Each structure stands twice: as C-alpha cells, then as structure tokens.
Amino acid sequence: MKQMSSSHMDNIPSTPGKFKMEKSSYIQRCRHSSSVAKLTFFVFLGLILVLFFKSPSTSSLSSSSSSPYSSSSSISSDLSRRSLKTSSWGGLAWEKRVRSSARIRSRNGFSVLVTGAAGFVGTHASVALKRRGDGVLGLDNFNDYYDPALKRARQSLLERSGIYIVEGDINDAPLLKKLFELIPFTHVMHLAAQAGVRYAMENPGSYVHSNIAGFVNLLEVCKSANPQPAIVWASSSSVYGLNTKVPFSEKDRTDQPASLYAATKKAGEEIAHTYNHIYGLSLTGLRFFTVYGPWGRPDMAYFFFTRNILKGKSIPIFEAANHGTVARDFTYIDDIVKGCLGALDTAEKSTGSGGKKRAPAQLRVFNLGNTSPVPVSDLVSILERLLKVKAKRLVMKLPRNGDVQFTHANISSARREFGYKPTTDLQTGLKKFVRWYVSYYGSVKKSDQ
C-alpha cells in the first residue's frame, strides 16, 4: 500500500393557459401507456432476477456514476473471485469499536450507518459527517472489483478520523441486525453498490446481488428497526437511459435503461417506493452524475486517462454516430457530498414501527450533477495541460455496451429542497485530482494501479 502523508487529508471535502383534450380517449391512452410500461419493467426485473440465480453471487460496496470509458483491463474476469462470506465479527472489543465510532458528538447530531464506506463517495461522505459531529459507522466488504489496496488506504484515512468500518456484506442479515441492536441509527446513507456499465456484460449476477438483493436485505432490516431510520441512497443518472430530452429532470421517463447497471438502479427506485408505501420508510434517492475527484475509482475515465497519459499509453476517445460528441456532466466529489448531506439533513423521519406503517412517509429522488456537460475530448485536453504530457488519442466509435452519448442534470429540485449548488468547474476539480494522484502514486513508474 502506498504511504500517505498528512497532505492527503487536505484533499478531503470541507463540507460538513390550460390545454383541454378529449377526456375518455386521453385516459385510455394513459392507461394503455402505463400498463405497457409496467409490464415491460416487471418482465425485465424478472429476467435480471433469473440472471441472479444463475450467476455467481458477488458484492461491491462502492458507488458512483458509471462511465462509457470504464476500464475493463484492470478488472479480473474471474467471476467467482468474490463470495458472500463476511469477516468474523462480534465480541466485546468489536462492540466497543462500533459504539465508539457511532457516538454522536454534537447537539442534534445524527447517528449514521454508511454502507460502502471504503468506496469513493462513501469515504468523503463519512469524513464530512464525522467532521460536523455526527456519529458514523461504516460497512464495506472490500471486494476486488478494483484495487483493494486503494480501499484499504481510504480505510486508514477514515480510522484516523475516528471512523470504524465493519468488514461485511449488505446481504448478511444477521450482521445488519446486530448493528441495529447495538446502535439506534437515525439515518442510513446507503452508498454500497456494484458500479460500472461494462462489467455487467461479464458478471450480471453481481449487479442483481448488490443493487437489488442487497438493497432489499438492508430495507428489510430497516423496516423492523425501532426506531426506523431515514434512508438516503445512491441511485444513478444512468436511469435516464435512452432519454433524449435535456437536461434530464426527475420528471422524465426512466423506463428505457441502456444497461443492466441502469436497470438495477431503476429497480432500486421502484423497490424504494414499495417499502415506503408498505412500511413507512423515509427514502431519498440521489441520481449521481459522473462523480470525480481525489480518492476516486480507477475504472473511471478521468482516472485511467491520467494513468495512461503518464505512462505514454493510448487512451480511447469515443464518438457517437456521424462523429457526434460524447459528453458528461462531470461533478466534483465535494459538490456531491454537499448534496448527500443536504438530502440527509432534510430527510423526514420514517413513520413505521415494528414493521408496520403508521402514517405516510417521505419519498424523494434528486439529481446531483454539475449542470455543465463537457465533451470527453475537452477533459483530455485539460489533463494534458495539468500533466504537461501530450495524450495519445485513439478515436473510436461509441460501443454498444450500455453507454449513452451524453448526460446533463437539471438540479432545480435539489436546489429548491436543500440549497444544492455545485461550485467546482472541471478545470479546478481535475487540478485537485491530479495533485492527489501524483502524491498518492508517487511517480509514473509507481502508478500501476
């Protein structure tokens, strides 16, 4: 594992006229459209559940928006390399660490369980919560979807902030129940997920296992907890799929997923609606738009572009049909964390008790993006200037593997509800990332991860 200096802490976020129409024909068309959409969704959900039971069970506890440039070369093709097993847990010493980490240290603070705490967004969010006095307990299984050493380095950083990460799987119901027995969590920030678009073509079962089965398992435990926690969880901008209306709004259709990853995140939103409706769980879904920054995921474009530029390797620049531009709404990690905390702070209490709903509960979904899509070619140009190295660009057609041509967030709902306002442009954010990258990996020769 790479040695870290105190300068790494500097890279952690500081964010603690009405139109009339024929009524009968309109209703018939709406009913027909709604029925078809629901039928399509449930058939698709059934298919991915079949994939789950046919594929090896896996779990990845780190979440952020997917990219068409996800690196497959750094990801093992061994589909059975991960298991459902949870590291040993329990005992007085273990319980003491759990309680200490989750202890609230400020008036009116929260006690938060953060799943995927060793992941990119999870690490930054955990530190931000702890810094403002909330009690924070992490949960992560440290799988090897990408370099586990990076996750362990994040873990060390969190430990220095007084945050303990329980090593375990979100599908481990006894473990989750034990944690809720020890700590009356007021909130859960659920960031654990199997991320990425391309990997779904290699190991589809891992997405169903983590993003659907794992989410359901967590909600099952939360519904029975007393008190029930409010839950803020990571959905994805990928749910907009083949939608061509821009910018993407939470009111837009999301029934045309372009990848299995997107389908599982859409399924998660429907599952959240179900548990909210039946059990009174307060649920807020956050659709992240291409998150980047220090301590990021190595399979994301900005990350492995940096590595390959420094090593003199070519990088793929995708273009759509007829030489169309591929663009992303790149969102800096500090802005995402502000959105996560804003959603947490405005989340209302769940209304159930003992697994029974007592009153209607809050159900929300928000876009968290930067609202300024940037062509991927411009991203490369910025990296070239920061690294002072010319990139070897390899222009390629956008592959048909679930990738979409562009993303663009409408953030008016988040701005209205909790004042979300991103402030970091891509140039500034990449400068911070490059500074961290060079510091962490040390030199070109060492940047092999």
Tell me whether residue 261 is one of the annotated catalytic residues. yes
CB of 83 closer than 8 Å to CB of 60: no
Residue 230, strand partner residues? 187
CA 105 – CA 135 distance, rounded (Å) = 7
Angle between helices 215-224 and 260-279 (to 10 degrees): 10
Q: Is 440 helix (H, G, I), strand (E, B) or coil?
A: helix
For residue 350 the two structure tokens come to 């769940």
Look up tokens 């991860």; give the residue: 449
DSSP secondary structure code for residue 423 in this structure:
-
Look up tokens 């599908």; give the residue: 171
Q: To the nearest 10°, the Cα dihedral for 183, 268, 118, 159?
A: -20
* CB neighbour burial string for 352-380, b if at least 16 within 10 angstroms, e if fewer: bbeeebeeebbbbbbbbbbbebbebbebb
CA 365 – CA 273 distance, rounded (Å) = 10
CA 290 – CA 403 distance, rounded (Å) = 13
Residue 16, strand partner residues? none
CA 355 – CA 139 distance, rounded (Å) = 23
DSSP secondary structure code for residue 215 in this structure:
H
CA 248 – CA 2 distance, rounded (Å) = 40
State the CB neighbour count (10 A cutoff) for residue 224.
16
Query: Alpha carbon 159 to chain centroid distance?
Result: 22
Q: How far is it between the farthest Cα atoms of the chain?
A: 70
Q: Is 201 helix (H, G, I), strand (E, B) or coil?
A: helix
CA 66 – CA 262 distance, rounded (Å) = 9
Closest CA to 217 of 172, 283, 165, 276: 172
DSSP secondary structure code for residue 32 in this structure:
H
Look up tokens 């953030």; give the residue: 411
Look up tokens 């996560």; give the residue: 340
Closest CA to 406 of 251, 269, 244: 244
Q: To the nearest 10°, the Cα dihedral for 6, 434, 65, 50?
A: -80
Which of 69, 261, 302, 437 is catalytic? The answer is 261
Enzyme catalytic residues:
261
